[in-house]
Amino acid sequence: MVTTDWSDCQVQRYLADLEAMGLIRRIERRSSHRGKISNEYDLQGLVDKFAEIEPDFREAGEHARQVRKAAARPGLKGRRQIAKVAKAAGA
């Protein structure tokens, strides 16, 4: 079990916010002899959102790799490469 500093009310509020944004879908579950039981959550909206923004993460990772590679080069040539990569990132 994961513990956080969040109260039960905060967790319920965050879940309601995610549901309102369409990132999760709450599925109420019931038992024939016990009544209501724990909810089930469909995370497909969240998966779809991650798939949509994944190329941005890949691009940022590639850029970070280029900056690290340029920074690892000694001397003036390396400093010029860092400046070039940093300037491209700002554009």
> Which structural domain range is residue 23 located in?
8-42
Do 60 and 36 share a structural domain? Answer: no
Task: Tell me, yes or no, whether 62 lies in a domain.
Answer: yes
Question: With contact defined as beta carbons under 8 Å apart, do 39 and 28 qualify?
Answer: yes
pLDDT tens digit sequence for 14-46: 999 999 999 999 999 998 888 899 999 999 999
Q: Give the pTM.
A: 0.59
| pLDDT higher than threshold 70 for residue 74 | no
Q: Which residue has the tokens 């579950």?
A: 29
Do 57 and 77 share a structural domain? Answer: yes
Type of residue numbered 31:
S
Do 56 and 34 share a structural domain? Answer: no
Do 56 and 78 share a structural domain? Answer: yes
Query: Please, which residues bridge with residue 85 across strands?
Result: none
Task: Tell me, yes or no, whether 1 lies in a domain.
Answer: no
The domain total for the chain is 2
Do 62 and 34 share a structural domain? Answer: no
